[in-house]
Amino acid sequence: MNSGPLSGIRVLDLTNVLAGPYCSYQLLLFGADVIKVEMPKNGDLARQLGADPQLNSERLGASFLAQNAGKKSIELDLKDSSGKDEFRQLVKHADVVIENFRPGVMQRLGFGWETLHQLNSKLIYCAISGFGQNGPMSNRPAYDQIIQGLAGIMSVTGTEELAPLRAGFPVCDTIGGLGAAMAISAALAGRVNSGQGCFLDVSMLETSVSAMGWAVSNYLITGQPPSPMGNDNATAAPSGAFPTASGLLNIAANKQEQFEILSNAIGMPELINDARFKNSEMRKINRETINQEVAKGLSRKPAAEWEEILSSLGVPAARVLSVPEMVQLEQLKYRRFFTELPFPNHPETTLKISGNGIWIDGHPLAATSPPPTLGQHNKEIFESLLAEPATGCQQKEVR
């Protein structure tokens, strides 16, 4: 049994690839018991995705391993009559069902919201899709890149010469998964008072647009469309990535006092009284010039030294790291962000996976068991869980 605020909450995860599995992984880290319901033989498509072909062939692709630790896996064919019967029994014992099929698929399988609600009135059903369950685009197929383009994210990523560019990781899948996890947690809390479950309709397009924040609100409120600015920050200057004697350095000298401290620290105090840079608005107008001046000062030392110097003076600054460099950060080690677990089917190897950066009562949230092999928990679930009275799980509530 997992510990945490969602301990005792049972989740049926019918999802594939990223948005849904990322959602259920967040719930698992908070203590939920997640049962991954997978198609026989192949399972989650992510089992075949990743940089190692051998792992992909074993249905243990790196993309799957990244967000399925701690879950239990069962094989169930929802198109088969016996599979349907077993799923009905599972639903009676569950608190949450998550799926990321196209709208209408669950209804055609005989498991639409009305049917599931009749089976378990306390069930929370979360449907994650590209565009939501209704509307003119709702039945379109969608992957992360499709949503990035439609949401306007690609249009503001990169420089004027290079944009539109896709973000370097599946940001819309991740945001959609986080939005779904938040919605489910809120619904579980609300169920304490209502005693009833609910249907959650999560749109990746809408959660992504919401997460764009100022890029959208500035246009809605002022009519000013955002433009790609590369590594620069539209709201302030000097704020962006700057070359140094060795490596790039991110600096966010957004306040006047930070700009003045930065100017003195890099040995260029004359910038403070330069009329072109006297305040934030003037510095934005003369962004290219101030960036060039700051880069001159930074050329005297490597990025690692400037990071220490400027951070100690209260100016936000840090190196621009590669992923291999990032995973070596002492801060992440101290916070126990990465967890080491036995590698499925490879006991001689250790699997390192990410947490979610949240601590509760002085301890980081982390999975305690490795990702499951396909169907690993068939016997455990079908023999023990289905033998429980159907009212057992329905009485549990989030406190």
Q: How many angstroms from the chain centroid is the CA of residue 281? A: 34
Dist CA 370 CA 68 (whole Å): 8
Respond yes or no: is residue 173 known to be catalytic. Answer: yes
Q: Region 147-165: what's the mean pLDDT?
A: 95
Dist CA 131 CA 174 (whole Å): 15
Percent of the chain with pLDDT over 70: 96
The answer to whether the pTM exceeds 0.85 is: yes
Read off the pLDDT of residues 357-383 as tens digits, 9 standing for 90 and up. Answer: 999 999 999 999 999 999 999 999 988
> 319 near 250, Cβ under 8 Å?
yes
Give the pLDDT of residue 399. 40
Give the pLDDT of residue 395. 44
Read off the pLDDT of residues 235-285 as tens digits, 9 standing for 90 and up. Answer: 899 999 999 999 999 999 999 999 999 999 999 999 999 999 999 999 999
Query: Which of 359, 339, 361, 341 minimizes the C-alpha distance to 350?
Result: 341
Give the pLDDT of residue 383. 85
User: What average pLDDT does the structure give for the chain?
Assistant: 94
pLDDT at 384 over 70: yes
Read off the pLDDT of residues 329-352 as tens digits, 9 standing for 90 and up. Answer: 999 999 999 999 999 988 889 999
Domains of the chain are 10-211+333-395 (3.40.50.10540), 248-319 (3.30.1540.10)
CB atoms near residue 367 (< 10 Å): 20
Give the pLDDT of residue 389. 65
Give the pLDDT of residue 398. 46
Structure tokens at 194: 């209502």
102 by DSSP, 3-state: which?
A: coil
Alpha helices (runs of H) in the chain, residue ranges in sequence order: 19-29, 53-57, 62-65, 81-92, 105-108, 113-119, 144-151, 171-194, 204-211, 214-222, 256-265, 280-285, 287-298, 303-312, 323-326, 330-334, 378-384
Q: Which residue type is seen at 28?
A: L
The one catalytic residue in 95, 173, 201, 232 is: 173
Read off the pLDDT of residues 25-47 as tens digits, 9 standing for 90 and up. Answer: 999 999 999 999 999 999 999 99
pLDDT at 391 over 60: no
> 126 near 200, Cβ under 8 Å?
yes
Give the pLDDT of residue 2. 67
Residues in the chain: 399
Give the pLDDT of residue 113. 97
Dist CA 283 CA 269 (whole Å): 15
DSSP letter, residue 372 = P
Give the pLDDT of residue 348. 87
Give the largest CA-CA distance in the chain: 79
Q: Region 198-206: what's the mean pLDDT?
A: 98
Structure tokens at 73: 């896996």
pLDDT interval class at 390 (50, 70, 90): low
